[in-house]
Amino acid sequence: MPYPKEQTDELKGYCKKVSVLPEAGVEFLYLEELRLPVGCTPAVCDALLCPVAKDGYPSRLFFAAQVSSQFARNWNGTVRIGEKNWFAFSWKVDLVSPTLAQLLVAHLNGFAKEK
């Protein structure tokens, strides 16, 4: 099922380009050059948003590189998706019917919050 256009358009405000990457029944959203919160290194990074429940997480944001930030994060999710290796830290987002952008921001807040 395609994502609502207004929601994917809203995502474009956070990165250079938004694409769909289908794999094994999941439609990941590929966010090219996603701008990361202040204090992150690198400041910009490709990312994959998985807005559906997978592997014990209701949603997840994967990064093309392990990002260092103000608070140390538990980088426990090294996975292979779309023939690339991705990294994710342990961060569960619990929102009721978020838009894609709200979901993305909630995941990015993982860099800015101590816990």
Partner 1 sequence: MSPDRYSRQSFLGADAEERIARCTVAVLGLGGGGSHVVQQLAHIGFQNYIIYDGDHVEESNLNRLVGARAVDALAETPKLHLAKMMIYGLQPRARIQAFACKWQENPEPLRESQIVIGCVDTYKGREELEIACRRYLMHYIDIGMDVHGKQPPVIGGQVILSSPGGVCMRCMGFLTDEKLAQEAARYGDVGGRPQVIWPNGVLASTAVGLAVELVSNWTHKDRSHAYLVYDGNAGTVQDSHTLRKLKVNCDHYSSMNVGDPVLVEL
Closest CB 86 distance from partner 1, rounded Å: 11
Q: Which of 46, 4, 53 is nearest to 25 (CA)?
A: 53
Q: Is 65 helix (H, G, I), strand (E, B) or coil?
A: coil
Question: Within 11-40, which residues bind partner 1 (CB under 8 A)?
Answer: 12, 17-25, 30
Question: Within 29-88, which residues bind partner 1 (CB under 8 A)?
Answer: 30, 53-57, 74, 76-77, 79-80, 82-83, 85
CA distance 112 to 73: 10
CA distance 87 to 63: 5
**Six token digits for residue 39:** 């204090």
Counting residues that bind partner 1 (by CB under 8 A) gives: 28
Candidates 9-17, 34-42, 65-73, 103-111; binding stretch for partner 1 (CB under 8 A) = 9-17
* φ/ψ of residue 74, rounded to 5: -90, 100
Candidates 5-13, 35-43, 65-73, 101-109; binding stretch for partner 1 (CB under 8 A) = 5-13
| Whether 111 contacts 39, CB under 8 Å | yes
Binding site residues, partner 1, CB under 8 A: 3, 5, 8-9, 12, 17-25, 30, 53-57, 74, 76-77, 79-80, 82-83, 85
